[in-house]
Structure 1
Amino acid sequence: MLNNGTGEFTVYNLARYRDSAYLPASTFKIVNALIGLQTGVISGDSMIIPWDGVQRPVAAWNKDLNMYQAFRVSAVPYYQEVARRIGKEKMQFWLDSLHYGAGKKDTLFKIRSAIDTFWLDNTVKLTPDENLGLVKKLYFNELPFFKLYQQKVKNAMLFEDNSNYKLAYKTGWGTTEKGHPLGWIVGWVEENRHPYFFVLNVESSDPGYDMTTVRLKMLKDILKQLGFFEGKM
C-alpha cells in the first residue's frame, strides 16, 4: 500500500513485492480496455460484443455484454475479442509505450504467444510494484491515453462509493507455471479525497483454492485493520 500524501509504503513480503513477477491475468483488462478505447476498437463503455453462445463456467459471461459490464464481471471472452480486434502490431505499440512487463531490467516485453491469451499464459509477467504504479498513474490520468478513456476505466473499477470512502479495484486470477492459483487485486481506497494505492498478490499450492472469495475478503480485512472504511483516514 502507498499513502500518496506521505509517500509511505506498507509492504508485506518485500521480496515478493519488489523482485518477483507474475502473469497479470485479468488485471490486464485495465490496459486492454484503455488500448481498445484509444484505438477506437471499443467505441465507448456501452459498446456491446454479442455472446458467442458458448456456455462457460461463469454464468455472468453467458450473455451479451458491454465494456463496462464485461470489465466488472471480468469477462475473459469479451476482452479476448477486443485484443483480437486491436491486433498484435497495435497492441505491441501501446505495450511498448507503457513499458508494460519491462520489469527492473527495462527490457520491453514482446508478444510471443497468441494475441488473445498472452496475459494468461505466463509469457508476460508483472511485479506487484509495476501493477501498483499502473493504477497510480491511471488515478491521476498520467497514462498515455485520453483523459476521457482513463475516466471510463476508473468508473468501471469503482465498486463502492459512499460518504465515508471510495473503493476501486480490478481483480485477476490465473495459474502460475507451477500450476498454482494466483490472485490479484489492484486499485485504490480514497477517504476525504485522499487516495491510498494498493496491490494484493496471493498464491496457493492448493488447486482448489477459493481465490474469488479469499482475495476480496483479505483485501477488506487488511484495509479495515489499517483503519479504513470509517471516513477518518
Structure 2
Amino acid sequence: MQRLIARPSHIAAGLLMVTVAAVLGACMSMAPLPELSASVAAEDVDPATSTLVIYRLEDERTWISNPARASERFSPASTSKIPHTLIAIETGAVTGPDEVFKWDGQKRFMDNWNEDQTFADAFKRSTVWIFQTVTPRIGSAVLHDWLQQLNYGNADVGPADNVTQYWLAGPLAISAEEQVAFLAHLARRTLPLSARTYDLAVPVMVADSGAGWTLYGKTGWHSVDGEPEIGWYVGWLEQTGGEAPGTYAFAFNMDMAAPDADLPKRKGVVLRALSDLRALPAAN
C-alpha cells in the first residue's frame, strides 16, 4: 500500500498548534480553578491519585481535579487509537472504517479480538493486533511527523523496531491537559486533516448518545510489568440542549491498584462529573 506523506499545508498547520497546550494552560491560570474532586470521590476514586480536566469550548471555561497531576505525562495506551485512527485514514494506511482485517487464528487477551473485524470494530473493541498491523504500514517517521502536527504529547515513537509498541509501553506519553487540547481541536475540526478523514473517523468514536447529546470517547489501560497501572477515559461531549449546552472536551486518568474493580470507574467518573456540571442528565 502506498504511503502518503503529509502535505506542506499540513506541516504549516501543525506548526501553529505547538502552543495549544500552553494556551490552554494560560486560560486555566487566569482564574482560580473550580474543583471536580467531589465528583471523582463520589465514584470511589481518590482525587490524589487521579486527575480530571473538562474544558467547555464555547467559553473556554475549565474545570479540574488535581491540577498538579493534570500536567503529568503518562502512556496513552488505547486512548491513542483516536489519533491513530485519524492518521491511518488520512495517510491511506486503511481505506476507511469498513476495511476488514482477517484474524490470523492466534488466541489473544479478549474474546472479541479473535475474529475477523472492521477497522471501526477495532476502535470500539481496542483490538491491539489490528492497530499493530496498521502502524507499520504508516511507518515510524510518518507517525512521528503526524503526532507532532497533532501536538499529541511528546510525539515520541522511539526507534523503528518499536512501531508496534510505543503507545503501549512507551516512549509515547501525554498529559490530561494535552489530551484535552488535542480533543478540543478535534471537536472543532481544526486539526490539519481533510474533510474526508473527519467524516469517516469521527462517527467511529461515538461512545453513547441521548436526546440532544452525543458522547465521543475512548478508554485506555496502561498495563506493563513492573510499572503502575494507569486507566484513562478521554473524549468530548456535544450537548445541544439541557441545562448547560455546549461542547465539553475531557480527559481523566487514574492509578489502578485493583484493575478489576477500577476499570469501570474510568468512564463512571467522567459521566458523574458531566452530570454534576449539568452537561448531562443525572443518572437514574
TM-score, structure 2 length as denominator?
0.73
Shift of residue 222, structure 1, vs aligned partner: 2.1
Shift of residue 174, structure 1, vs aligned partner: 0.7
Shift of residue 181, structure 1, vs aligned partner: 1.5
1:122–1:177: 8 Å Cα contact kept in structure 2? Answer: no
Equivalent position of 1:153 in the other structure: 201
Secondary structure at the residue paired with 1:185? strand
1:164–1:229: 8 Å Cα contact kept in structure 2? Answer: no
Equivalent position of 1:223 in the other structure: 274
Shift of residue 214, structure 1, vs aligned partner: 1.8
1:183–1:202: 8 Å Cα contact kept in structure 2? Answer: yes
* Structure 1 vs Structure 2 CA RMSD: 2.0
Equivalent position of 2:264 in the other structure: 213
1:116 paired to 2:164: yes
CA–CA distance in structure 2, aligned partners of residues 177 and 111 of structure 1: 19
Shift of residue 27, structure 1, vs aligned partner: 1.0
Secondary structure at the residue paired with 1:189? strand
1:4–1:197: 8 Å Cα contact kept in structure 2? Answer: yes
1:2 aligns with one of 45, 55, 58: 55
Return closer, same or farther for 1:230/1:40 CA change in 2, 3 Å cut-off: same
Q: How does 1:63-78 map to 2 (within 5 A)?
A: 63-78=115-130
Runs of 4+ in 1 over 4 A off after TM superposition: none
Shift of residue 115, structure 1, vs aligned partner: 0.1
Return closer, same or farther for 1:204/1:162 CA change in 2, 3 Å cut-off: closer
Secondary structure at the residue paired with 2:164? coil
2:223–2:230: 8 Å Cα contact kept in structure 1? Answer: yes
Q: Which structure 1 segments of 5+ residues have no match? A: 103-107
Pairs aligned (count): 224
Secondary structure at the residue paired with 2:264? helix
Secondary structure at the residue paired with 1:148? helix
Q: How does 1:85-124 map to 2 (within 5 A)?
A: 85-102=137-154, 109=156, 111-112=158-159, 114-124=162-172
Q: Which moved more, 1:39-48 or 1:158-167?
A: 158-167
CA–CA distance in structure 2, aligned partners of residues 177 and 99 of structure 1: 28
2:65 aligns with one of 4, 12, 33: 12
CA–CA distance in structure 2, aligned partners of residues 21 and 100 of structure 1: 11
CA–CA distance in structure 1, aligned partners of residues 114 and 162 of structure 2: 23
2:102–2:117: 8 Å Cα contact kept in structure 1? Answer: yes
* Structure showing greater Rg: 2
CA–CA distance in structure 1, aligned partners of residues 128 and 156 of structure 2: 22
Equivalent position of 1:199 in the other structure: 251
2:140–2:157: 8 Å Cα contact kept in structure 1? Answer: no
Shift of residue 72, structure 1, vs aligned partner: 0.8
Q: Which moved more, 1:197-206 or 1:114-123?
A: 197-206
Equivalent position of 1:131 in the other structure: 179
**Identical-pair percentage:** 26
1:176–1:182: 8 Å Cα contact kept in structure 2? Answer: no
Secondary structure at the residue paired with 1:16? helix
Return closer, same or farther for 1:153/1:124 CA change in 2, 3 Å cut-off: same
Shift of residue 50, structure 1, vs aligned partner: 0.8
Secondary structure at the residue paired with 1:10? strand
TM-score, structure 1 length as denominator?
0.88
Shift of residue 203, structure 1, vs aligned partner: 1.1
Return closer, same or farther for 1:164/1:100 CA change in 2, 3 Å cut-off: closer
2:234 aligns with one of 171, 181, 186: 186
Which residue identity does 1:17 align to in structure 2? A
